Amino acid sequence: MGTDLLHTLPLADAASNLLAARNQMAFTLGFHIILSCLGVAFPLVMLIAEYIGIKKKDKTALLLAKRWSKATAVLFAVGAVTGTVLSFEFGLLWPGMMERFGDAFGVLFAMEGIFFFLEAIFIAIYIYGWKRISGWAHWWTGVPIVLAGIGGAYSVLAVNGWMQTPQGFTLDAKGFVETVQPLEVIFNPYAWHTFLHMYLAAFMVTGFLVASIYAVGMLKGRRDRYHRLGLLIPLTVAAIAAPIQIVVGDMVAREVADKQPVKFAAIECIAKTGPNQPETIGGVCDREEGAKGAISIPGLNSLLVGFSTSTVVQGLDSSPRQDEPKALNLLHYSFDGMVGIGFALATLAAWFALFWWRKRDIPQTPWFLRAVSVSGVLAIAAMEMGWIVTEVGRQPWIVYGFQRTADAVTRADGIWVVFGITMAIYLILAIGLITVLRAMSRRWRAQDEGRIPASDDDRVPYGPVPTKPAAKPTAG
């Protein structure tokens, strides 16, 4: 398995470095992934609003699209910073993995860099073009933003998929990558499922989060068309994604049961291998006895995995203890929470869809608006729980089956200091981001209420702002 880097460290220092590195990676990834979701999905929501504005000559939709484009630019800028930090962390915190396997998955990071720069270029063109490009031409400049977001998201998620199901390489006698088959790395077995699951999650997070902002405004009495349309567009996107996500999530779970049976046993808290496995909800996970005190549905787990209650599902007893995840309760609760919130959001989507089908309007009852107002936070929580399941469930492997996380961690001193500095920087970024977005929101509200003059950007749909002709000089 290659050189064990920890053998060159005192045991206490090795464990401390591992804990600090994992905490830092978890914190920075958990922060960045929210911005990534918005960066992937918000541009499409913005383009939908502009499409409605152009097609129906709807000034309110155009106004929303312009304002959302400005918010997109701010989110993209902060996301670029946090994403860059993550890129450096791979080399700084996990040099053992980069040294052994960097040649295998490096092509995907190169692809992600290209898509990132394309996205940045077209965001600049899109925002700059509001007053300089005609309607449909301007709309088309936003399409590459969406496409680059798809390409960038796939590239990064394919890296994670490769770490879960590594393939497309051979190792030399010392355990280092010798040859690489790039297409097998790029299209690894887990990449497509991971991408589709996360892509839908991005639209759920973005759609419910943006809709929740306007739902809060409507609860405060702002029932104008601006708030109704601001809620309707993103909520429609999220409502479409929510039920599809349940189907895709079921596919992903079966893929995990097939490719990573020990992870599946941990998240489902299955102690003993066998058929007729029950689906357990809650309880306290025990390696020997399963989920004690849980709600148990006999045979359902086997049925979901293999479409028959006689399907044999592997338990924790099928693996050596040192090769299985340790945080069983964290995994089990995170999985239950993710699935539970997913079904709750799908129910909210069904409520909205049924009412729209019957009334062609948004339910404006306080309970519906309250549900929408908390849906954004719930979607973020479900997404973070999903990443806990994905990443904690892979432990103790950093490259599944090939390299342990403990073997890849840095030997450098001061990792806890770096972790503290990183948290401070991210806190400053979070405060700055929220402050800027709130300032933008307050200014827009003041413009809508007539307390301050509307800007030229809000008044002019497309084309240059007309200027007053220069005064003719008078005869002296």
Report the chain's mean pLDDT, rounded to a whole number: 85
Is 316:266 a contact under the CB 8 Å cutoff?
Answer: yes
* 458: Cα within 13 Å, side-chain hemisphere: 16
One-letter amino acid of 65: A
Question: Strands, E, within 283-435: which ranges?
Answer: 284-286, 290-292, 295-297, 397-399, 403-404
Residue 459: its pLDDT value, please? 52
- Cα 382 from chain centre: 10
Residue 113: its pLDDT value, please? 87
Is 398:163 a contact under the CB 8 Å cutoff?
Answer: yes
Tokens of 330: 């964290």
Tokens of 402: 């090939």
Is 181:162 a contact under the CB 8 Å cutoff?
Answer: no
Residue 475: its pLDDT value, please? 46
Give the CA dihedral 434, 435, 441, 444, nearest 10 degrees.
-150
Residue 473: its pLDDT value, please? 47
Show Cβ contacts of residue 472 under 8 Å, excluding neighbours closer than 6 positions.
none
Instruction: State pLDDT tens for residues 147-202.
Output: 999 999 999 899 888 888 888 888 888 888 888 888 998 998 888 888 999 999 99
Taking alpha carbons only, the member of 190, 205, 196 closest to residue 235 is 205
In tens digits, what is the pLDDT along the chain, a chain of 476 residues? Answer: 334 443 444 444 557 788 888 888 888 888 989 998 999 999 999 999 999 999 888 888 998 999 899 899 889 888 888 888 888 888 888 888 888 888 888 888 888 889 988 988 999 899 888 888 888 888 999 999 999 999 999 998 998 888 888 888 888 888 888 888 889 989 988 888 889 999 999 999 999 999 999 999 889 888 888 889 999 999 999 999 999 999 999 898 888 888 888 998 889 888 888 888 888 888 888 888 878 888 888 888 888 888 888 888 888 888 888 888 888 889 989 999 999 999 999 999 999 999 888 888 888 889 999 999 999 999 999 999 999 998 998 888 889 888 888 888 888 888 888 888 888 988 998 998 899 888 888 888 877 776 776 665 555 444 444 444 444 544 44
Is 352:239 a contact under the CB 8 Å cutoff?
Answer: yes
Residue 419: its pLDDT value, please? 87
Is this prediction's pTM over 0.85? yes
Taking alpha carbons only, the member of 371, 324, 365 closest to residue 346 is 371
Taking alpha carbons only, the member of 89, 77, 87 closest to residue 39 is 77
